[in-house]
Amino acid sequence: MVSLTEVETEFWRLMHSEDTDVVVEYGADLSAREFGSGFPMAPRDSADEYVTSPWNLNNLSVAERSALRFLPRDISGMIVPWVYVGMVFSCFCWHTEDHWSYSINYLHTGSPKTWYGVPTDSADAFEAAMRAEVPELFEVSPDLLHHITTMLSPSKIQAHGVPVYRVDQLAGEFVITFPRAYHAGFNQGFNFAEAVNFCPPDWFEMGQSCIEHYAVFRRAPVFSHAELLCRMTLSDEPLSVEFLVVVLKQLRNLFAKERDLRRHLARLGVRRAERMVFEDSDDDQRECAMCHTILYLSALACKCSPCKIFFL
């Protein structure tokens, strides 16, 4: 039997080789709702005791302590789990989760999955190391790390003083990644895994920072952070004290910033205003034409370009 260490060594040898081609197949990012989940689902498996288990990934993203349950639609990959069918050497490149949320991955069956992770507080150092290692790629695509197409060995990253940790996930085990914790990995052989995101109260500050980060790189978010805050406030569901504290703090900051921006526009001579119900429009119809942020509280428009709206 080939050891995990031997497979790992061969994986990185192939990665670093310039004259060896290897073709692998990876069934990645497959919606559990369309292709089926490894966990029991209602009503199909309503008699199964795990249908309502909080560890069932079909429930975890919308559990009581996850803010994602307040979003108005199911988001594939974040709220609806994705399933993954891997083979030896199939890999997932360095990335963070959408909105810098938490993620949880369960390996249902098959060969181990090898993970590499960088702590949240080393994210900036990791990005600097990546730019130093492949500057020519970042010149072409400054948002390279958003593409999830770049694989660099842990040793090269560690050479820049960035801590990198590893774990071999076995069948029947969960792996959880934290907000803005870069991670990558590969499969040691055939396996079947499932993953989803969740957003507990301590995620909110990171989530707001992520929206600001996305705007710099003109990356469209998956949902409106401001809309999530407002929906939680207006919801009939009672919020925990932890949620109330963070939501109130962020709403105060959000409204203060909104007030200042509107006053600034008034000083610039913007006088005409009309009400718009943003949630009645699809997300792609209310994106800022410049930074692609999904607009919710307000937008700026000009009669010279009536089809375009902009973030304040």
The confidence score (pLDDT) of residue 271 equals 81
Domains within the chain, CATH numbers bracketed: 4-199 (2.60.120.650), 209-310 (no CATH)
* Count of all residues that appear for the chain in the document: 312
Q: Report d(CA 109, CA 61) in Å as an integer.
A: 22
- Mean pLDDT, the chain, rounded, equals 94
Dump pLDDT digits (tens) for 255-278.
999 999 899 988 988 888 878 787
Instruction: Give me the residues paired with residue 104 across strands.
Output: 176, 196
* Whether pLDDT at 45 is above 80: no
Q: Which of 67, 94, 89, 116 has the alpha carbon at shortest distance from 230?
A: 67
The confidence score (pLDDT) of residue 47 equals 64
Dump pLDDT digits (tens) for 199-221.
999 999 999 999 999 999 999 99
135, containing H or E segment: helix 135-140
Q: Report d(CA 34, CA 282) in Å as an integer.
A: 22
Mean pLDDT of 119-134: 98
Kindly report which listed range (98-102, 187-191, 275-279) carries the lowest average pLDDT score: 275-279
